[in-house]
Every structure is written in structure tokens, then in C-alpha cells.
Structure 1
Amino acid sequence: MSVPTNSATWLLESGGRFVVQEAPFPSPGDDEILIQNKAVAINPMDWKIQAFGPHLPFPSHYPFILGSDIAGEVYEVGKNVTAFRKGDRVIGMTNWFLTNNTRDSAFQHYSIAKTSVVAPLSENISFEAGSVLPLALSTAAMGLYPAGRLGLPLPQTFKPSPISKIVLIWGGSSSTGSAAIQLAVASGATVIATAFEKNHEFVKSLGVTTVLDYRKDTTIYDLIKAVKETPGDFVGALDAIGEDTTWRACAEVIKGLGGGHVVSNLPTGFTDVPEGVGVVGVDDTAHLASNKEIVEGVWGHFIPEALKNGYLKPVPEPLVIGKGLEKIPDGVDLCRKGVSAGKIVIGL
């Protein structure tokens, strides 16, 4: 039987341009799955690598294939894989960031993913909608659950009992923010969030108790007041945007509450942190698969069941800009300009 051909959207050089070219056809290892991609999503990391490549230590070589979010059909499974079979509809997180190998990248027709970060996708959810979830859920999980961060209990696939814990999520309508809200609510926490005013109803639909517009001059004061008026113990803030201004805003809220933790999607660069405030960057999402308790609780248990019963929503809305690998550069450019309450997706 002849081996299928593979193509990918390659970033030719650090800070360079994207070009569609032939790519190696990968084979899965013992605990891996080869997925024929039907949709891929664009993340801010993708445009930042293209724009700031000369100043970044990753990827380690060029040309390279980027991308982390995939949805598609299982094409081949490794010899130890029993939970999936050829033809299954799935979503998954590729992990080139850890391996520096293009077989583990998303922007191609065939990608490799570890079984621990792959989940079934039911027929009532499109590949385009499913593709918005993988990296966002993984990143949010690494902010919410590890000890020393926000330390919430793992999520449940049905409405959990309240745990009297309050979490602030800055950027609730973003991809990671909407994933973090759903996970935190599924853990039984009370969630207070920020979002652009036109996205408040969307954020409320995910289960937040209070949502405030981050652009107002009184936002810091209003958030402090909201936390104080909400029953429960405040465990900290998750900065889902990951910019210098957003983690600092979270830190000001924490300072006003007497101290505590900020977990930020900005991995490093925390200077002049207010006294009594601890800031931790989520720089280890790529290592989620090695955190057995969290990856099994989130990917092994919560995502499959919650997608199936509708408790987990595939949000934000996929903004599908076309079909084909040649559309990926356009998607990266649009992501760089900024997207509100949506995630750019390309069909394949």
C-alpha cells in the first residue's frame, strides 16, 4: 500500500514568511496517534514566533512547522493504543514546543499527538468548533490546578458542589479565558471575570458570577469590591491574556485584597511586583502530558465526558476564514491584529 503524501505550511526562517511545501509523512510511536487534520486553529503564539523569531530561542531550527490545535480523524494508532481506532473523530494538542520536531506540529495535513492529550469529538460538534479547544484547555489547566498556582480541585463532568473558592480570570472572552472559566466552574469555584462589555453575555453564559469591563478607570477598585462582596475564599487571579499590562492589573487587585497569587500566560518578565503578591508564569503547558494527575483529570476524564454531555462548550466561536494550508498565513496575520470572543480557524 502506498504511503500518502503530506504537505505543510512552513515558516522558512526566523522572522520570515510562510510557504506551503511538501512535508514528511509521520508514523506514530507506541503511545501516539497519527491524525488526519480537518481543521486547525491559530493562537497568538504563532504570530509572535513569526514576528519576534530572531529574539526567541524556539523553534530550535528552520524551516519549521508551527501550530498546536487540531481536529480531525484518526489515521493510524501506535501499538499500545487501545482507546482510539482509525476513523475516530478527535481533537488534540500537538507538542512541537517540547520536541522541536515537525511531526508534532499542527499546520499540516497529518500530525502526531500523544494519546494523553487527544479526546473524542462527538458528531454534533464540527471539526472547526472542536479545534478551538486543545491548547486553551491545556494552558488553563496548568494555571488552575498545580500546587503553588491556583490549586483548584480537578473538574467534574456534572454540576459540582460549590467549594467556597473565588477565582478572578482576566480576559474571560479570550480562548484561554473561556476555557479557564469552564474548568474553574466545573471545579466548583465561583468565577469573577473581566471582558470587553459587548462580550459580557457570552462570558456570563459560561457560568461567571460577575463580569466587569477591563477598560474602565475604576476596574481595579470594582474588582476588589466584587471579590470582597462574594462569599468564599479568594484563591488568586489567572491572567489569560499574558501581557505586561494585564498581569500588573491582576497584581493590583491582589495587592488591594491584602496579597496572594497571580498566574499569568506571560511566561516570564515579572519585575517590580507589588509587595505581598506572587506572580507565576505558565511556561510549562508543553509538559502537561507528564503531569499524570492533571492530564488524566482534564483530558482523560473531563473533556471527553463534558463534550459528550454538553457541559463543555467549544468556545470561543471559530472564525473560519477559508479552507486549505495556504490560508494559514492569512489567519496568522488576522490573529496578530486581534480577535474578540473568537478564534481563527482554517479548514483542511
Structure 2
Amino acid sequence: MSDNTAAWIDSPYADVIIREAPMPKPGPGQLLLEVRAVAVNPLDAIIQSNGTVMYGWLQYPVILGEDVAGVVVETGAGVNEFAIGDRVVAYAIGLEKGRDAVAESGFQAYVAVDASLAAILPATIAFEDAAVLPLALSTAAAGLFEKDQLGLDYSRLGNAAHRAEVVVVWGGATAVGGNAIQLARAAGYRVITTASAKNHDQMRRLGAEGVFDYHDPEAANQIIEEIGGSVVAGVLAVAVGSAEPCLRIARATSATKIAMASPPVSFYEQPRRRGLSLARIRLFMKLGTRTALLQLRSRARGIKASFIWGSAIATSPVGPAIWGAYLPTALESGSHRPYPQAHIAGHGLPAIQDAINTLRRGVSAQKLVIALAQAPLDS
């Protein structure tokens, strides 16, 4: 094979640099993909903005990237459900603790991924469209179905089950929110969500039965009224600042669990450089204070509020249920739509840093995707 190329981040806070990288070797249960498209995520921007905070185990230089779609060029031992030449979408988890932040991270021409976190793509779905799914889908699944989160029942996922219970998703137009709506509906739950008015029709197409504008100061009360006497199975708080209205909804409806996909502050509100600064000190003081107050207020009312870690599904039964049993069939049938809409932010690995910078400035109801040209193979 030709030499591999990657978008490296050599030190905390640094811009990515494009240069050669070792060719990954798929281990047991893994696939080697020739990457055709990648998507950037808030996680990439947060790691770059926070330095060693949160992901302190990373040993630089590393490669960022979680969302990939491409073609299988090699399979590891024990892989039977995939073959060379298969088109797949996959969740690259190299940035997680105990993983290889070089071979298993997505922003490169070739990447090793776990077969258990990959799904075959139908020919009708382009690589660029599929690349929006992995981290958002996995985070949504973790929040909805992991036992230490909302713990919803996924045993009838995709079998047109119908339940009376309601799931509230605050932030439905986000990448995680849009996938959570689809997964909750596929498991049979009713869904009520929030989004800007311009995205209401889209939320209904994804399966939400009620949509409210989160800009409206009465949105939480409107949701409570819409729920009426129905049982609330859980509340998923996705967007920054969503925990407070979700706690109000949980209190009013006797819901006992809130799963949070976003911190109470934006990590983009700090300079991307080493050392202390007034902005960074204020940010982390605000984070600590708001998190502590939220936990105190929720526990006092018998509500469990917990933060979601999307990669939790990699070592739990939820992973195979989503990536193996549900997603391939749902993509083939069209019952699960790649969401959010892919916006091609550039072609080739050099476009990644600009895409991350654009993400920091704000993106609504779409995901920034980088298309990669097919890499030549040596004979």
C-alpha cells in the first residue's frame, strides 16, 4: 500500500499539520479502512481548545477524528461479517483511554476501526452523507439506552413497537438530538423535542410528535403541558445550557433521569493557547459551580442527572444492538436517515483545520464533512 497521510496535532492547542503517518494494521476484530470522508465534531474542537483538560491521557502527537466512512481494504482476525471492498461507516475511537490515538483515529487516509462499531452502507448513501453519523449516533444511543443513563428498553428497536411513554429531547436539531429522536422512535417511544422554528418540520420528519422553539422562554412550560399525564421515560439534554429547562421538565412530570450530552458552558469561550487566562479561569469556575448546583438540585428532588460518554457503547450490549442489529437494516430501508445534513467543507485533509474553526463559530442543523479522494493502492 501507499504511505499513509494524516492530520496530526503535535501538542495541546496546536493547529493540525498534514504529514505522513504509519500505516495502521488491523488487530483482531478490526477493519482497515481506506477513508473516503470524515466529519468534524465539537469533540475535535474541544480537545484542541482544552489542551490536557478532559483528555489528559493523550500522549502527543495524536490524530483527531471520530467520524469516518470508507472502503474495507483489510480485515483482522475473527472478522466474518465484513469483506474487502465493503463500503462502511464507522466510529473511530482512537482518542479514548487505552486506545491508539494514531492508528485508530479518523483524520487520515487509512484507519483501523472496530468491526463492532462499523456498519455496511447501502449503495444509495454517499460516503459524505454517512460520515455525519458515528459519534452523534453513538452518543445518542448511550444517552438513551445505557443502564447508567436513561436506560430505555431497546429490545424491540426497529420492530415498529409502540409505547405510551414519552422521551423529551432538548436540542433536537443538533447532531445528537436528531439521531436520538430517530432511535427513541425506533424503540417505540413518543418524542417531544425543541428546535428553532425553521427546523420544526424537519424534526417531525425524523419522528418527533411535538416540537417547541427553545428560544421561547415558555418552551419548558409548553412541553410540560403537552406531556399532560403521560409517563416520561427520560429527558435528554443535548445543547449547552439545556440542563436547567430539562430539570424543570423532569420535576413537573415526575421523570427521574436526565442524560446530558453537553456541559453547562461552551468550551469555545476560552483562548486556544497554553497557560491561565481570566477567560479560562472564569469558564472553569462557571463550569464547576453550575455542575455542582445542578447535581444538588436534581438529587434533592430524586432525579439522577448524568453526563453521557458516547464511547460507552463500545464495551456494552448497546454497541452491537445499534451498530450490528439496527443500523445496517435501518439505513438500507431508509428508516434511519443520516442526520444532520452533510455540508462539504472542503476536499482533502488540509481542509480539516478550517472546518474545525468554522465549527467553533457555530453550525446549525448540519455537519461539516471533508471529502477525501480515493487513495491509490500499490500492487
**1:295–1:158 CA distance, 2 compared to 1 (3 A):** closer
Q: CA deviation at 1:263?
A: 0.3
Q: CA deviation at 1:158?
A: 4.5
Write the letter of the residue equivalent to 1:95.
Answer: I
Per the alignment, residue 289 of structure 1 pairs with 314
Q: CA deviation at 1:239?
A: 1.2
Q: Are residue 271 (structure 1) and residue 254 (structure 2) matched? A: no
For residues 63-74 of structure 1, what are the structure 2 equivalents within 5 Å? 63-74=61-72
Alpha-carbon contact 2:9-2:62 (below 8 Å) kept = yes
Write the letter of the residue equivalent to 1:8.
Answer: A
Alpha-carbon contact 2:232-2:255 (below 8 Å) kept = no
- Aligned positions, number: 340
Long gaps (5+) in structure 2: 264-286, 373-379
Aligned to 1:271, the other structure's residue is in SS state helix
CA–CA separation in structure 2 for the residues paired with 1:246 and 1:116: 32
CA–CA separation in structure 2 for the residues paired with 1:286 and 1:258: 29
Alpha-carbon contact 1:155-1:186 (below 8 Å) kept = no
Per the alignment, residue 366 of structure 2 pairs with 342
For residues 210-225 of structure 1, what are the structure 2 equivalents within 5 Å? 210-225=210-225
Write the letter of the residue equivalent to 1:25.
Answer: M
Write the letter of the residue equivalent to 1:279.
Answer: A
Find 1:87's aligned residue among 78, 85, 88: 85
Alpha-carbon contact 1:157-1:311 (below 8 Å) kept = no
Q: CA deviation at 1:257?
A: 2.3
Write the letter of the residue equivalent to 2:315.
Answer: S
Per the alignment, residue 277 of structure 2 pairs with none
Alpha-carbon contact 1:15-1:54 (below 8 Å) kept = no
Could you list the per-position Cα deviations for residues 293-319 of structure 1 after superposition, in whole angstroms to 9, with x for gaps in the alignment? 211211111000000111110111001
Write the letter of the residue equivalent to 2:333.
Answer: N
Q: Are residue 254 (structure 1) and residue 244 (structure 2) matched? A: no
Find 1:5's aligned residue among 3, 6, 28: 3
Q: CA deviation at 1:56?
A: 3.6
Q: Are residue 318 (structure 1) and residue 342 (structure 2) matched? A: yes
Moved over 4 A (4+): 155-159
Q: CA deviation at 1:151?
A: 2.1
C-alpha RMSD of matched pairs (Å): 1.6
Per the alignment, residue 306 of structure 2 pairs with 280
**1:96–1:153 CA distance, 2 compared to 1 (3 A):** same
Could you list the per-position Cα deviations for residues 70-118 of structure 1 after superposition, in whole angstroms to 9, with x for gaps in the alignment? 0000010012111111111000000113214311100000011111000
CA–CA separation in structure 2 for the residues paired with 1:51 and 1:158: 38
CA–CA separation in structure 1 for the residues paired with 2:81 and 2:323: 13
CA–CA separation in structure 1 for the residues paired with 2:245 and 2:83: 46
Per the alignment, residue 271 of structure 2 pairs with none
**1:15–1:125 CA distance, 2 compared to 1 (3 A):** same
For residues 75-224 of structure 1, what are the structure 2 equivalents within 5 Å? 75-98=73-96, 99-154=99-154, 156=156, 158=158, 160-224=160-224
Q: Are residue 24 (structure 1) and residue 49 (structure 2) matched? A: no
TM-score for both structures, normalised by structure 2: 0.86
Q: CA deviation at 1:170?
A: 0.9
Alpha-carbon contact 1:31-1:81 (below 8 Å) kept = yes
The range that moved more, 35-44 or 48-57, is 48-57
Per the alignment, residue 325 of structure 2 pairs with 301
Per the alignment, residue 37 of structure 1 pairs with 35
The range that moved more, 52-61 or 83-92, is 52-61
Aligned to 2:142, the other structure's residue is in SS state helix
Per the alignment, residue 15 of structure 1 pairs with 13
Aligned to 1:104, the other structure's residue is in SS state coil
Write the letter of the residue equivalent to 1:63.
Answer: P
The range that moved more, 96-105 or 51-60, is 51-60
Alpha-carbon contact 1:70-1:106 (below 8 Å) kept = yes
Aligned to 1:178, the other structure's residue is in SS state helix
CA–CA separation in structure 1 for the residues paired with 2:110 and 2:64: 13
CA–CA separation in structure 2 for the residues paired with 1:54 and 1:144: 29
TM-score for both structures, normalised by structure 1: 0.94
**1:55–1:147 CA distance, 2 compared to 1 (3 A):** closer
Q: CA deviation at 1:235?
A: 1.3
Aligned to 1:340, the other structure's residue is in SS state coil
Q: CA deviation at 1:256?
A: 2.4
Percent identity over the alignment is 34
Write the letter of the residue equivalent to 1:250.
Answer: C
Write the letter of the residue equivalent to 2:198.
Answer: K
CA–CA separation in structure 1 for the residues paired with 2:341 and 2:55: 32
Alpha-carbon contact 2:157-2:188 (below 8 Å) kept = no
Alpha-carbon contact 1:155-1:302 (below 8 Å) kept = no
Write the letter of the residue equivalent to 2:247.
Answer: A
